Structure 1
Amino acid sequence: MDHFSTTRLTAERLNESHLVDLVALHLDAEVSRYLGGVRPAETTKTYLATNIAHWDQHGFGLFVLRTKDGAFAGRAGVRHLLVDDVDEIEIFYAFKREFWGQGLASEIADALTEIGLSKLELPSLIGVVYAGNVASRRVLEKSDYLLERNAIRHGNDVVIYRKQR
């Protein structure tokens, strides 16, 4: 599954041509405050390579999101994530600021959940969110994820939500 669409977005499998858009997204301090901080271009280049390799290894991963008119809106995906030495499958998303508050994160979270639980037939999905990121927590709650626990990840307070098939 290299691409999909929602009502307002198209998602395409990550590739090297997306580097410029991802660098711009990761350099925005407001966007990146809940993503581990601003990432310089070289870090984003490594991030891109890691996520392309994830696709090659697992057959799913990170998508670049565009509006129906083709404008870059953000990134989102389904990926393996090691959490407390357990291999979990996480949904994740990040949007350019101009697309915040429009319900796009909820739209994409629902689509990723459907992909993970129905199409990929995974037993469960998690969402890992900085504890203070109220908007992202609400997105997961609206998609029927249940708060599972608090944790520390990379020195940050996070909450882990889960949805089971």
Structure 2
Amino acid sequence: MNRQRGRKVLKTNRLNIRKMIESDKTNLLKIFSDPVAMEFYPDTKNEEETIRWINWTINNYDKFGVGLWVVESLKTGQFLGQCGIVPQKVDGEVQMEIGYTFIRQFWGNGYATEAAVACKDYGFSVLKLPRLISLIDPLNKASIKVAKRMGMTFEKSIEKWGKTIAIYAIDNK
């Protein structure tokens, strides 16, 4: 299959992490159209909203040099989800967040943690970021576990996106 792929960003023992491209729309919709996977987001996304998401992500690559990246199985090439470093405005300043969403069928395999740790290491060692955060709905226990496995700790709660959001953070030491 001669499908164009985004440029590789990172590789772990089990994962290939690469830049997102427009043809990832169908795979992203497997997450965005799933009400369970999107439980802690304002709503699911349709095809048009997914295209806007991809364009926002590509714009982040151009503007900030980071963004959400596609996570694939290194062994099979199968799309698993997305994980990356995303600029987020918090308390009036842009901070870099590690964000992650995965297709529900792949939950519980450690992929989110593996990808998130790789992104944290990249953010600290390559980009020399002073700190990374994750913005998590306080009821999203699975995402909180991933943040803690990255070494993040709860910092505070804020109001964002019309609801209370917990900030988990880690400093580059």
Which of 19, 34, 49 lines up with 2:25 in the alignment?
A: 19
- 1:79 and 1:91 map into 2 onto residues whose CA distance is 6
Within-5 A mapping of 1:64-103 = 64-68=70-74, 69-103=76-110
How far is the alpha carbon of 1:34 from its aligned partner? 1.8
Which of 141, 148, 152 lines up with 1:141 in the alignment?
A: 148
- 2:30 and 2:104 map into 1 onto residues whose CA distance is 11
SS of residue in 1 equivalent to 2:37 = helix
Which of 30, 43, 46 lines up with 2:49 in the alignment?
A: 43
* Alignment correspondent of 1:31: 37
Q: TM-score, normalised by structure 1?
A: 0.95
- 2:70 and 2:41 map into 1 onto residues whose CA distance is 16
How far is the alpha carbon of 1:104 from its aligned partner? 1.2
Q: Please list the CA deviations of residues 124-151 of structure 1 after superposition, one character each: whole Å capped at 9, or x if unmatched.
A: 0000000100111011111111111012
Which of 117, 127, 135 lines up with 1:120 in the alignment?
A: 127
- 1:141 and 1:152 map into 2 onto residues whose CA distance is 21
- 2:23 and 2:46 map into 1 onto residues whose CA distance is 17
- 1:26 and 1:84 map into 2 onto residues whose CA distance is 27
- 2:127 and 2:162 map into 1 onto residues whose CA distance is 32
* Alignment correspondent of 1:131: 138
- 1:2 and 1:24 map into 2 onto residues whose CA distance is 22
Q: TM-score, normalised by structure 2?
A: 0.91
SS of residue in 2 equivalent to 1:90 = strand
Consecutive unaligned residues in structure 2, runs of 5 or more: 1-6
Which of 108, 121, 126 lines up with 2:115 in the alignment?
A: 108
State which drifts further: 1-10 or 38-47: 1-10
* Alignment correspondent of 2:3: none
- 1:144 and 1:72 map into 2 onto residues whose CA distance is 26
Say whether 1:60 aligns with 2:63: no
Percent of pairs identical after alignment?
30
SS of residue in 1 equivalent to 2:109 = coil
- 1:2 and 1:70 map into 2 onto residues whose CA distance is 12
Consecutive unaligned residues in structure 1, runs of 5 or more: none
Query: How many corresponding residue pairs?
Result: 165
